[in-house]
């Protein structure tokens, strides 16, 4: 028996390589160790794949990358969708269901504009050269913040 999510009826084009249908129940994660969240690995892999696919690179400071990936994973845990962690929302659930700011957000998909500095156009301010980030790199960056 599957629990339905509020977003299962919203059709929006998915450009990510994650094809698993979003019918899994939303786990309302408590503040337990989020580095155990499988969504952290999911968002890590997504970030690597999407950077390569969009010909963008990670920030020269990879801790920025790590922090954003953690923020995306946390939203995926609590809202069922990777809502952009660098924004204020009047209603997070509604935004996650609507989809504009779900990563990869519309500004990124249309204009390669990622104000989170997760995906940067090579040669622009703060752009590094990596398109990979390991789970160790992420954990090292986010541990001090837990």
Partner 1 sequence: MALLTRVANVDQQSFDATVLKSSTPVLVDVWANWCGPCKLVAPLMDAVEKEYNGGLKVVKVEHDANPSLISEYKVYGLPALILFKDGMAVAKREGAISKKMILDWLKENGVALAA
Which spans of this chain sit near partner 1 (rule: CB under 8 A)? 59, 61, 63-68, 70-71, 74, 85-88, 115-118, 125-126, 145
Could you tell me the maximum CA-CA distance found in the chain, to the nearest angstrom?
49
The least CB distance from residue 110 to partner 1, in Å, is 17
The least CB distance from residue 18 to partner 1, in Å, is 20
Whichever of 26 and 101 has its CB closer to partner 1, that residue is: 101
Question: How many CB atoms neighbour CB 136 within 10 A?
Answer: 8
Catalytic residue among 6, 59, 86, 103: 86
Question: How many CB atoms neighbour CB 122 within 10 A?
Answer: 11
Annotated active-site residue 6? The verdict is: no
Tokens of 61: 């400071």
Torsion of CA 59, 52, 84, 143, to 10 degrees: -50
Whichever of 23 and 134 has its CB closer to partner 1, that residue is: 134
Whichever of 1 and 89 has its CB closer to partner 1, that residue is: 89
């Amino acid at each position: 028996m599957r629990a339905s999510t509020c977003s299962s009826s919203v059709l929006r084009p998915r450009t990510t390589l994650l094809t698993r249908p979003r019918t899994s129940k939303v786990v309302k994660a408590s503040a337990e160790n989020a580095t155990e969240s499988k969504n952290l690995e999911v968002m890590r892999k997504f970030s690597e794949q999407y950077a390569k696919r969009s010909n963008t690179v990670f920030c020269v400071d990879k801790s920025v990358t790590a922090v954003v990936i953690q923020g995306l994973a946390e939203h995926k845990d609590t809202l069922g969708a990777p809502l952009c962690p660098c924004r204020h929302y009047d209603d997070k659930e509604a935004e996650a269901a609507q989809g504009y700011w779900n990563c990869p957000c519309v500004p990124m998909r249309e204009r390669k504009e990622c104000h989170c500095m997760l995906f940067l156009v090579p040669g622009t301010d703060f752009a590094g050269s990596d398109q990979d980030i390991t789970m160790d790199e992420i954990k090292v960056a986010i541990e001090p913040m837990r």
